[in-house]
Amino acid sequence: MAATHSPHAARPGISQAEFVQFQRFIYDAAGITLSDAKKALVSGRLAKRLAHCGVASYGEYFRLLDSGACKDEVQEAIDLLTTNETYFFREAKHFDLLRERALAQRPRGESFRVWSAACSSGEECYSIAMVLADCLGERPWEIMGSDICTKVLHKARIGHYPMERARHIPPALLRKYCLKGQDAQEGTMLVEASLRRRVQFGQINLNTALPQLGQFDMVFLRNVMIYFNGDTKRQVVDRIAALLKPHGCLVIGHAESLSDTGAMVRSLAPSIYVRT
């Protein structure tokens, strides 16, 4: 009788030694520390790439990445191993602070500049844009959105989302700045073109020297540093704090703290820091 095979029988397992190689790979590439609990995640996310590249093991795939001959594949692996989870108007009080800061600057007439430093698929950027468009209108304001993952940046530039992701958008802003999909696009929403044009997206690795970006009134760096070890976190915060205007705000996630990152910022409120 012929042996039967399950559909998953051909998937190679990842050894502990191979997993350690990918822990080092993503740490070197993005400063992200993967705990041992992420072994199944790494195996699952990379399995299709082994088949795509025609290699038989995770070790072979790592050697392919490490050879320097396949830069596109290296970016593919980085995209797969970085976690991108976000939604519109996450943590409402951060957007209350944004509105308050923008309105306070309005009489001075200076451009109000905000950087979403790990913007994922763009929901945070467009939440910021809705607030600034609403309270500053045609007065000057700018938004920069960046991420290490190229796939999510492509989604962000398009600004097209399932309608269920809009549940936290204040109804007045949803009506004003988003188009509801009809017919084939039913169940989706599109951020209005005039708002999309106000947001600039680019790939930036926070774990390396930053490009010349100018200075910002606020930087959103939420739910990113939980993936960094202490040294990486300090380096990233120093790089970003240096781009804040005097008394500019750095906003982080509620599960994060900057208590051990040095003297460039001080706590203003939980998850909110100000440039000293």
Type of residue at 97: L
Residue 92's SS3 state is: helix
Catalytic residue among 24, 28, 36, 45: 45
Q: Is 147 a catalytic residue?
A: yes
Distance of CA 120 to the CA centre of its chain: 3
> C-alpha distances in angstroms, 21 versus 74, 78, 149, 232?
14, 13, 20, 19
Q: What torsion do the CA atoms of 253, 268, 218, 254 make, to the nearest 10 degrees?
A: 10
The backbone region for 187, taken as left when phi is positive above 0, alpha when psi lies in -120 to 50, beta otherwise, is left
Q: How far apart are CA 49 and CA 66, in angstroms?
A: 15
Per DSSP, what are the bridge partners of residue 179?
Answer: 190
Active site annotation includes 183:
no
Say which of 101, 113, 147, 275 is annotated catalytic: 147
Edge-to-edge order in the sheet of strand 160-162? 160-162, 188-191, 178-180
Where in the sequence numbering do the catalytic residues fall? 45, 147
